[in-house]
Amino acid sequence: MSLELLSEHCSFGGSVRFYHHFSIACDAPMRFSLYLPPQAERKRVPVLYYLAGLTCTEETFMVKGGAQRLASELGILLVTPDTSPRGTGIPGESESWDFGIGAGFYLDATRDPWSRHYRMYRYVTEELPALLAQHFPADLRRESITGHSMGGHGALVCAFRNPGRYRSVSAFAPVSAPARCPWGVKAFEGYLGEDREVWKAWDASELVRRGPIPAPILVDQGSKDPFLELQLKPEIFASACREAQQPLEFRMQPGYDHSYYFISTFLADHLRFHAGHLWR
């Protein structure tokens, strides 16, 4: 699988890189970014996947998150994919900000015409790791995953669908019960169809009911998040974790909203949380 390097930038002794390639999983061009820490010059390093939210791209986290300084100290390879395929030619893919382009929801679509290209789950869990193994000094025995909003949903779903794969899981303001919120219902109906039983396979609050996973979970949520009650519904996920005896550290952060000001404030906690498990 070939990659095209779009740009490279020195950062805290390592490098931020942006790549373009043709995705087999999505049958379309895809982009991703990564941060290679300085330790990667000498040895393989653990990987932390960051899944971004609605309307974001592979650039958003690398530009706004401010993760590079600590990732350099901790020796973690950061990688973040785009949030959907782009330019597939599917009618209506750019009509809504919360469906289609920029809104892949990290699932594998089964409904036409989306099923040909919108296979972000397969991309994140299969193709992207294979690219890392082929082209970079990534230690795929040591993987963790995190994300924000739609990406927080994606991180939780990837972890629950692959128990034992990720050393640790975290999320910032995740869409915690997508089958019960407008964003999720719109995405699930469009990508998966109307059978709500099928939706359960892509809803973390339903997946946890199958039983706990060994990975510890950290979730941060801002109390002033404008999407808290209608779209995010963390109380549903927290309740499901309690019932399933799934270890969860849930932190309500007073006064914080849904923005990258919130993410950048608590990102160091998340990076250290993951490093503690990745390097163990």
Averaged pLDDT, 65-76: 98
Burial class (CB in 10 A: 0-12, 13-18, 19+), 206: buried
Measure the N-to-C terminal CA separation of the chain; round to a whole number of Å: 31
Q: What is the pLDDT of residues 135-187, one digit of tens each?
A: 999 999 999 999 999 999 999 999 999 999 999 999 999 999 999 999 999 99
What's the mean pLDDT in 12-32? 98
* Count of alpha carbons within 13 angstroms of residue 125, beta-carbon side: 19
Evaluate if residue 1 carries a pLDDT over 80. Answer: no
CA neighbor of 180 nearest in space, from 223, 230, 105? 230
Residue 259's pLDDT is 98
| In the predicted structure, residue 249 carries a pLDDT above the cut 90 | yes
CA distance 238 to 256: 19
**Confidence tier at 55 by pLDDT (50, 70, 90):** very high
How many residues are given for the chain? 280
Tell me which residues are annotated as active site.
149, 225, 258
Among the listed residues 39, 47, 48, 42, the one whose alpha carbon sits nearest the alpha carbon of residue 14? 39
Instruction: Compute the CA torsion angle 230, 232, 238, 239 (nearest 10 deg).
Output: 30
> What pLDDT does residue 215 have?
97
Task: Choose among 29, 19, 274, 240: nearest CA to 147.
Answer: 274
Q: What's the mean per-residue pLDDT of the chain?
A: 98
